Structure 1
Amino acid sequence: MDGAPPHPSHPASGVKAPPSPRVALPVMCHRWAHITFLHWRYPVEAVRGLVPDELAVETMDGSAWVGVTPFLMEDVRVPGLPAVPWLSAFPETNCRTYVRDARGRSGVWFLSLDAGRLPAVLGGRSGYGLPYHWSDMSVRIDRRRRRYRCRRRWPGTLGVRCDAEAEVGGVLREDEQDELAHFLTARHRLFTRVAGRLAAAEVEHPPWPLQHVELTALDQDLLRAAGLPDPAGPPLLHASPGVDVRVGMWSW
């Protein structure tokens, strides 16, 4: 299962993922599990107005890229403290694009983040300045099939949705992992605004064990709610069983 037709101008395969930074003093640890990456190419001008002026829209293969990533957050905890069962596992769906700052550092700019736990939403909005939304969400895993559901509650437009079903296939061989796959998935820095200033946090995780995936159903208006036009075609797809993550402190 290849998930999407090969892109006619993908860079050469067999490219190594960029190394992860070492986050010595994490402020948060968790696992991103059962993730499906859906990515669409966009003209830079469609994305430019959604990104702060201090950041450049990063391109690959001549385009900006916007991703929707449904997954499960698991084992969410503060370092040194045990996970709390109800608070430590919940669905999340992110809408994101890729940027570079004035120092040449690549990272993620989130257009929205939907989470199924209100405390996580409040913490993400107040502590990280991220555009979190509280949503009615579920993730169901049945062997190779994944079913994601999201309906936004607060804030913003009630009912913004992202429902997707996917069938996961085999692991990508090393020679199938091209530069575009790593560009879209191997991201180790996120940007946001804290107290009105652009801030960045490093994110440590091992290389994604990427899998083939076929999208069998998709009903979403997250892209439109983020201020983007509808995409021109089907998404480029990747999946992964997940990675363990350590998030560092903000820096300016």
Structure 2
Amino acid sequence: MNIMSNVGHRPWPLPSKNWIMRQRWRNLLFCHWPLPSEMLQHHIPSNLELDTYHGFAWLGVIVFMLEGIHPRGLSALSLTPAFSEVNLRTYVHYQGKPGVFFLSLDVGDWASYTIAKRWYHLPYKKAFISFQKERQSFTCQSVRKGGVHPPISFGVKYTPSSEIYVPKEGTLDHWLTERYCLFSTNHGSNLYCGEIHHHPWPLQKAEAEISRNTLFTPFNITTTEWPPIYHFSKGLDTLFWNIRKV
């Protein structure tokens, strides 16, 4: 099914027909921790508000393989080879519009780090990332480059553990995954919004074993009191619009 022909699930209309690129996301792990809002509030811009579900803010680590970035009009050409990404995010809204705010995005691809960091004003970090599949399981190991010792790292092995389902609106699964814009900031001075579109997420429950995680360390966030919940998705294609100042 054409991505643009399936829009009934969106919380607001498509911004226009003039999307600029398509990305192919595959074999995703969603890890989420519920947290008191005060643990995250001072890590987001003052003109954004934390979005909450049943009184909790949520901190997410999302691991996936990005198999292609295709500019509009060049569907057969990817700007980059396939690469993995590990992002740390929370959920916000701006004047009632819900979206994603990224605290960090670890990536080993030079083009994504250089171009996307400047274009979308996102906090990309250079990292060494390995991503492997063995039967039905996936293993990701990420070690951030830089002068911090020990380095910021994340390691996980995960396996889908249920049949595929599309989460119903109003459920936590739907709330955590069905997000159609991102917000970013330029050193705190300007706020930007990037619109995205995709089919509803095909999710599966997942089992995961996190072998190491220091992604939260720069933010002095601890999650030991709250165990994570896990979801897997085989992936989907996503359309991106140009970022705009709000």
TM-score (norm 2): 0.87
Structure 1 residues 171-195: Cα deviation after superposition (integer angstroms, max 9, x where no partner): 2445888611011111111001248
Deviation for aligned residue 1:80: 1.8
1:91 is aligned to 84
Q: What secondary structure does 2:55 align onto?
A: coil
Q: 1:165 aligns with which of 138, 157, 163?
A: 157
2:106 is aligned to 114
1:26 is aligned to 19
2:141 is aligned to 149
Residue range with higher mean Cα deviation, 217-226 or 233-242: 217-226
Q: 2:124 aligns with which of 112, 128, 132?
A: 132
1:71 is aligned to 64
Contact 1:20 1:204 in 2 (8 A): no
Matched, 1:213 2:203: no
Q: What secondary structure does 1:171 align onto?
A: coil
Structure 1 unmatched ranges of 5 or more: 1-15
TM-score (norm 1): 0.85
Decide whether aligned partners of structure 1 residues 34 and 155 sit closer, same or farther in structure 2, where only a CA change above 3 A counts. farther
Structure 1 residues 151-183: Cα deviation after superposition (integer angstroms, max 9, x where no partner): 001487772101000121222445888611011
Deviation for aligned residue 1:140: 0.9
Q: What secondary structure does 1:222 align onto?
A: coil
1:242 is aligned to 235
Contact 2:33 2:223 in 1 (8 A): no
1:188 is aligned to 180
Contact 1:214 1:237 in 2 (8 A): yes
Q: Distance in 2 between matches of 1:131 and 1:58?
A: 20
Q: Which amino acid aligns with 2:163?
A: V
Q: Distance in 1 between matches of 2:9 and 2:220?
A: 31
Residue range with higher mean Cα deviation, 60-69 or 74-83: 74-83
Structure 1 residues 46-73: Cα deviation after superposition (integer angstroms, max 9, x where no partner): 0000000000111001100000001011
Decide whether aligned partners of structure 1 residues 194 and 26 sit closer, same or farther in structure 2, where only a CA change above 3 A counts. farther
1:4 is aligned to none
Contact 1:50 1:227 in 2 (8 A): no
Q: What secondary structure does 1:234 align onto?
A: coil
Deviation for aligned residue 1:118: 1.7
Identity %: 29
Q: What secondary structure does 2:209 align onto?
A: strand
Contact 2:166 2:200 in 1 (8 A): no
Contact 1:35 1:72 in 2 (8 A): yes
Give the number of aligned pairs.
235
Structure 2 unmatched ranges of 5 or more: 1-7
Q: Which amino acid aligns with 2:25?
A: W
Indicate the RMSD between aligned Cα atoms, in angstroms.
Answer: 2.3
Q: Which amino acid aligns with 2:238?
A: V
Decide whether aligned partners of structure 1 residues 155 and 50 sit closer, same or farther in structure 2, where only a CA change above 3 A counts. farther
Residue range with higher mean Cα deviation, 151-160 or 112-121: 151-160
Q: What secondary structure does 2:152 align onto?
A: coil
Deviation for aligned residue 1:77: 2.1
